[in-house]
């Protein structure tokens, strides 16, 4: 998803998406550790999406929404 799609979501939806991405990051790390080689670009995509969501949540918190 891009930033505009994340901005349209509510705080609860963003929190659920964040939890999903954190679980996905954990699963990717487990796969890498167990010898399965997941595609390396998935790590950076996941990391950037987590950062986007956290940034938007902080912006909403500051704005008081």
What are the extents of the domains in the chain? 3-63
Q: What is the DSSP letter of 64?
A: T
Residue 11 pLDDT > 90: yes
**pLDDT value of position 65:** 63
DSSP for 6-43 reads HHTS-HHHHHHHHHHHHHHHHHHHHHHHTT----THHH
pLDDT tens-digit profile of 21-39? Answer: 999 999 999 999 998 888 9
Statement: the pTM of the whole predicted model exceeds 0.75: yes
* pLDDT surpassing 90 at residue 7: yes
Residue 22 CA to residue 60 CA, distance in Å, equals 20
pLDDT, position 37:
83
Query: The domain 3-63: what is its CATH number?
Result: 1.10.287
């Amino acid at each position: 998803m891009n930033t505009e799609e994340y901005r349209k979501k509510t705080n609860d939806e963003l929190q659920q998406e964040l939890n999903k991405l954190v679980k996905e990051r954990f699963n990717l790390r487990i796969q890498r550790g167990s010898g399965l080689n997941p595609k390396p670009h998935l790590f950076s995509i996941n990391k950037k999406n987590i950062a986007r969501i956290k940034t938007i949540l902080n912006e909403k918190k500051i704005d008081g929404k």
